[in-house]
Amino acid sequence: MRNPKISPLFDLKQFYEDEWNEHRKVAENTQKALFAAFSEWVDVSATALNQGKKLLFFGNGGSAADAQHLATEFSVRYKTTRKALAALALTTDTSTLTAIGNDFGFESLFSRQIEAIGREGDIAIGISTSGKSPNILKAFQEARAQGLITVGLTGGTGGDLPGNVDVLLSVPSHTVARMQEMHITLGQMFCGALEYQLDLV
């Protein structure tokens, strides 16, 4: 007997095929569109790490999880065991996050941390699918004021990030799920490329 909670009009096979087809299309378009920006991201980050600088990742929701994931690839390991690289996510310290949110407001969540630990020449990497998150934009303002290099990962038109970051990687899609899939792919490629660029593997 069919579960009455499942719509009789929902075609699971078609949904499955459509999702894969859209993923492939977005992946192909991202590959074509973003090499120049990706190359710049790798180059400025390699220079920074060689100079003893660090990578600071941040984002909200799923992008916060991506920030933590990618920072870990650098500070722990990616494909092989090699020298640890200086990277951290500004999304993990609950005491800091709740204190900032309570005392200064949610918009200051990342900018306050950048003010505290950001140094000229560090790389501030903010992930925002909309490109309009107030705390991401404020973090980039603080980062630029302190002389950090700013990198934005977003999608669609880029929201308010164009002109407000040094390097912009905007996934050519308006579907949040596809943007997030490309962000983590680009992020892992970024880590792998840096390992080779820095002659660590």
Main-chain phi, psi angles of 106, to 5 degrees: -60, -30
Find, among 8, 161, 144, 128, the residue nearest to 62 by Cα: 128
Please report whether residue 31 resides in a domain: no
Q: Exposed, middle or buried by CB within 10 Å (0-12, 13-18, 19+), for 70?
A: buried
Please report whether residue 58 resides in a domain: yes
Please report whether residue 171 resides in a domain: yes
Question: Where do we find the tokens 């092989």?
Answer: 80
Q: What is the reported pLDDT for 84? A: 96
Which residues of the chain are modeled with pLDDT < 70? Answer: 1-4
Find, among 66, 88, 64, 67, the residue nearest to 76 by Cα: 88
In whole angstroms, give the CA distance from residue 74 to residue 48.
Answer: 14
Q: Are 94 and 158 in contact (CB under 8 A)?
A: no
Please report whether residue 100 resides in a domain: yes
The fraction of the chain above a pLDDT of 70, given in percent, is: 98
Please report whether residue 162 resides in a domain: yes
Distances (CA, A) of 190 to 44, 81, 122, 142: 12, 17, 16, 24
Please report whether residue 26 resides in a domain: no
Give the CATH number for residue 68.
3.40.50.10490
What SS3 class is residue 180?
helix
Domain count for the chain, please give it: 1
Residue 80 structure tokens = 């092989």
Q: What is the reported pLDDT for 3? A: 60
Q: What is the reported pLDDT for 9? A: 87
Average of per-residue pLDDT values in the chain: 96
Contacting residues for 11 by C-beta, under 8 A, at least 6 apart: none
Please report whether residue 153 resides in a domain: yes
- Reported pTM: 0.95
Please report whether residue 34 resides in a domain: no
